[in-house]
Structure 1
Amino acid sequence: MLVLSGIFFALVMGAGLFELVGMKPDLGALILGMLLASHRKASELSKSLFNLKELFLVCFFLNIGLADEPTMQGFILGVLLLLLLPLKGILYFVVINAFKFRVRTCLLTTLTLFNFSEFGLIVGGLATSLAGSLAIYWWH
């Protein structure tokens, strides 16, 4: 019942009501979530909706991955990002080490920050496509 009530609050009460009055549904779900955060059952609701959230996240990345076919430009960009990855790790280590942390702490923090996040790659791809659109607009 907790999962059903959480979905009802997010989709019907939050998103549905905001869409009904002409506002963004995402904003409604967010605001309702903020209002429910102080409730005594909020942590239990969060734990019960975790699996559903993970399923939606997998579907989101599958949707992005299946939306377009790989191109040679994308492949070259991926190889370039992989080649820059060690430089990113070294830079993280040097900066963290400049704050006089122990070497072990610097190494573990660097390994944690070493990867490229999916969100960062999505934002980078979006920026690249927008930059191309802006360049075409600027030339005209």
Structure 2
Amino acid sequence: MIESAFSISFQNNILDHKLIVVCFISLAFILFLIFPSIWWSISALCYAGYLFALKHTTKIMPVSGDLVLIEQDAWVQLSDKEVIFEGVIRHAQKYASIITFELYSDCGKKRRLMFIDNAMDPDSWCHLSRIALQVR
């Protein structure tokens, strides 16, 4: 049986930081209402959380590159100028215009990836979403 591979090129896969900022400002406001006497701790904690979230999202979001997908096996190869990672999609979640999934390679390594919809054309986004979410 011959399996067909689908190639997706993506660019500017960068999350808008306003979403993260609004989340942590809302958290700080709610905590300040509950515990007003430790406002300085709340501010420091929320700022540290923001920095951690920013670091984590830049780690799991490749800015540009190519994805090669084999639909039946849910196999994905991520490459830039060379192969960065390849594996099988084991778990995927979609949040509005963001999709995250975990890839497991043959040697047991795990990698989490996140993509936004405007990083690729709409047909590729639909195809990637369909393949990733069928794994469940």
TM-score of the superposed pair, with normalisation by structure 1: 0.33
Structure whose alpha-carbon radius of gyration is higher: 1
Flag the structure with higher strand content.
2
TM-score of the superposed pair, with normalisation by structure 2: 0.33
